[in-house]
Amino acid sequence: MARQAWTEVVDDPAARHLVAARLEPRAADEPAVLMAALIEGLAPVGDFALITRCEQDCAVILCAFSHPTDAQALAAAVDAQQTDDYPEWASQRCFTLDHATTRAIVDAMEVCGVAQHMPQHPMMAGVVQAHA
């Protein structure tokens, strides 16, 4: 489906699915753009939303999904693990967006041609270029 505003997707967290990306400093130039492009490249069947916020240890991108298989697909793509950090969600997984993970995402998107087919993300070319 499509990316939506956070408030549109997260009306009831207990019925939604979360993948949290803990951000390693300077691992990606535009981490939210990178995550949105990755999710859209996975062709979600339901709606999703992203929000970046500061937590106690680091900045985090929260990726919320209306459909559980979309959260599972992202979790599998980035090797996110189950977590208990967000108990209000129907399902919750977490991973660290570090330099190696960023490189792997960019490489996979280049191989699949996702970066070239993301007109709604004009900064994606810059993200790919910065990690080339």
Task: For 47-92, write each residue's pLDDT tens digit.
Answer: 999 999 999 899 999 999 999 999 999 999 999 999 999 999 999 9
**pLDDT tens digits along 10-55:** 988 888 999 999 999 999 989 999 999 999 989 999 999 999 999 9
Using an 8 Å Cβ cutoff, are 9 and 64 in contact? yes
DSSP single-letter state for residue 113: T
Say what the alpha-carbon torsion angle 105, 31, 127, 29 is, to the nearest 10 degrees: -130
C-alpha to C-alpha distances, 15 to 6, 66, 68, nearest whole angstrom: 14, 8, 9
pLDDT at 117 over 50: no
Domain coordinates of the chain in residue numbers?
Answer: 6-119
